[in-house]
Each structure stands twice: as structure tokens, then as C-alpha cells.
Structure 1
């Protein structure tokens, strides 16, 4: 009996059926024994399993949805009483560990194109960074969180813009990408490391993606003609450029 029980705890069969592949993020949704969907991420030594809502590990610290919400409630009570609320080093460490859980979940959800979930969890971690910034006087503690803000802003932007692109809203998606990029630039400029603007992989990614989305954006007849005219001028096809210029004037006049 003990042998059978021990065998039931062995994960090898599960891991063999879903092998780890270096360099590839493998995630899936499964139905738990409680009948609810769970999120799984394959890692080299096993599987991370997460709840899809609430705290990823399913815990409710101090009866709250998360440690962050617990501290937010306490900070609000302290403020109402006219007191300051200061996070200890241990509390910052606990909040950081909790933030990592949400990180694992949102990168998994992004892989599954669950953009609404990504927006929710990235915004939650951005709120965490701001909360620690407000309630810790130790600059090194604050930077332990804020150093990840550019990445989380990028993921938040990717999810928001992806939802818009799925609806064919190219112009709105481009504005969202620009807004996210600007938020990262502003963060670096206000930090102690403004020189990182030119080195940021997040900014570079969003710039490249913006250009890609712009190229794929459906063009109006007027835009197509304007691009053709610019191309004709570049190729010194001036007669063709003049024809296009006249056609553009006529099109604008007819509107």
C-alpha cells in the first residue's frame, strides 16, 4: 500500500508526456480535481501550477486576496488615522516573492494569448512597484522593484495593443504602443539612469513593433497614392509623380 502511494506521488509519467524544451516557454490550461481550470508552466525540473485568478498559488494571506491588498488595506487605515505606513525589509521581500508569482502567470497567459489576464496581472505588479515606492524609505528596496517597471510596462503595452489589433483597430494599437514606449522613456528619464533610454531593449522592441504594425496597417486610397507618389519621386519618375499629385488633389477635392 505504501509502495502504491509513493508511486502516485511520482511525477515522471506526467513530465514524460510533456517534456521540457530549452528555449521554449511551454504552458497549458488543465482542469484541476476541484473542477476549476489551472495554468501550468513546464520548467526544467518539473511543472509550476497556478490559479487563473487571485493569487497564483491559491493562498489568501491574512484573509486577503494577496499580500499587496493586505498591505494596501493597512496603509489606508494608517492614513485615515493620520499615520505613516512603512514597509520593513522582510515585508518588501515577501511582496517581491509574491510579485514573481504574478510574473510567472502573466508570461504564461501571454503565451496563450489571454491578453486580458496579462493586462490584469501586469497592472497589478505596476501597482505593487508604486506601493513600495510610496511606503519604503530605502532606495535599494524601491529599486529592487522599480528596475522591472520597463519590462512590465512593455508586457502591459503588448497585451493592450494585441487586443486592439485582434479587433482590427490599427490606429488605436499604434497609439497604445507609442504611449507605452513614452511611459518607459519617462521612467528612465526620471530615474538615476537616464542614459538607459538609448540602451533599453523594451524601447527598442516597441519601436520595432510600431514600425511593423504601421507597415501592416490597411491603407486608404489616398495613403496608397501618396506613398506611390513618394516612391515615384525617389525613383525620379517625375511625370508619374505629377500624375499622382494631380490625382491626389482631385481625390481630396471630392471629399
Structure 2
């Protein structure tokens, strides 16, 4: 069997506005693929994005939760449980894999899976907050928590909007804004940027939910906004606009 993937690349030309697909694998499971200018990435839809298992556990996070529970049983408390350097590195690397996947899943409106993957990374943040032993490693993860909270909220909000649950969507926005506003400061540029950006984004979403109106000539306006969002690599916004276009009866 040849390792040359030229034919596969020719059969699926790179299109920056439509680079993601979910296809059936040979064993019947579905996988997510991303077409890049020079190749293809493939993600498992469930479990770890790379399909690996960690010492009979689905994820590093699950393994560490199991170890934490064992520690609590043996010591009657979680006192003394810490993430060592190896734990921290493996957990951080896994969180990055989940980040890549939920970013792609958001673009194809797989909001339930985005909610699941962002919840995974929020649990990673919780472990670092409670048991992270090294402040630098701890902050390297927690500085991105405002962004993860925003993505988690948007996945839930989009599901609510699909079900015409405007009040529930508004409550999620308000809860997430309050959570991000009350977060403990982390003295890194990334934290300051992500918190400000996430709050501005959620303020806009709150306004859009409250107004619940489309502009004049909505389809043309949304098409322009979609092109701009893709050009700016704002994939969250692009996915949202695609959903709104589909609601207008246009397949994009």
C-alpha cells in the first residue's frame, strides 16, 4: 500500500471557506477531517482527539481524576495531592488537542461536542487551580480560561437558539459574563487580552439576543460578514453566521 496521499488531496481540494468535513471511517465510526493547504488532519470525534488511551483511561484528565479519588480514599481528604511536572505537561498537551478539535467542531455547528470538549478543558483548569504546584505552569493554562468559558457558553447558547430558548440563552450569557468579570487576575498579557476580548464578544451576543432582529437585506449582509469572519480567521463568528444563513434557507 502506497503512503502517497496525492490522490486524496486531489479529490478534496483546499477551500479556505469550507475546509472541514465529518466522514465515516472504514470501521463505521465517524471522524473529523480538516483540509490544510498542504495536507489533511484527522480527529476522532469522541475520546481523545488523537484516539489514544492513557493507562486504560480515555484521557489524561480521567486518569488524574481517578488518581485524585484514590488519594482521597487513602487520606480522607485531597490535602497533599499535587500535579507533578509530568502530570502538568501531559494534561496541558491534552488540553491543546481538545482546543484544536472544539475549534473545528464549532465551525461545523457540532455544538454539543463543543460543549463537551470545552467542559473537558474547564475541568483541566480546575485541576490546575486546585492542585497546580508550579505557578508558571499553572498560569500558562489558566490565562486562557476566559476564552474557554466564552466558547463553552457559545456552544450552549447556540443550542438554546436552535431550540428557540432565548431566555435560557440570555441567562447563560449573563452567568458567563459575571464569571469572567469576577475571575482572579493573572498577570500575563494573554489573560488580559482574552478576558477583555471574551467580555466584549459576550456583551455583543447579549445585545443580539435581546434585539433578536436581522438587518435589511439579511442574506447579503450575512454573506459579507461571513467572508470577513473567514478572512480574519474568526471561526466562532463564521460558524454563527453559517447557522443564521441556514435559517434563511441557504445552504453554505
Normalising by structure 1, we get a TM-score of 0.75
Q: Aligned pair count?
A: 209
Q: Would you say the 8 A contact 2:146–2:195 is kept in 1?
A: no
Q: Would you say the 8 A contact 2:20–2:104 is kept in 1?
A: yes
2:233 aligned residue: none
Q: 1:68 aligns with which of 37, 61, 86?
A: 61
Normalising by structure 2, we get a TM-score of 0.76
2:186 aligned residue: 192
Q: Would you say the 8 A contact 1:122–1:156 is kept in 2?
A: yes
Give 1 or 2: higher helix fraction.
Answer: 1
2:155 counterpart of 1:177: no
1:57 aligned residue: 50
Which one scores higher on RCO, CA 8 angstroms, separation ≥ 6? 2
Q: Would you say the 8 A contact 1:170–1:217 is kept in 2?
A: no
CA distance in 1, matches of 2:38, 2:150: 29
Of structures 1 and 2, the larger Rg is shown by 1
2:34 counterpart of 1:41: yes
Detail structure 1 runs of 4+ shifted over 3 Å in the superposition.
Answer: 19-22, 192-199
Q: Would you say the 8 A contact 1:157–1:176 is kept in 2?
A: yes
1:77 aligned residue: 70
Q: 1:20 aligns with which of 14, 21, 34?
A: 14
2:120 aligned residue: 124
**Runs of 5+ in structure 2 lacking a partner?**
215-252
> Pairwise CA RMSD of aligned residues?
2.3
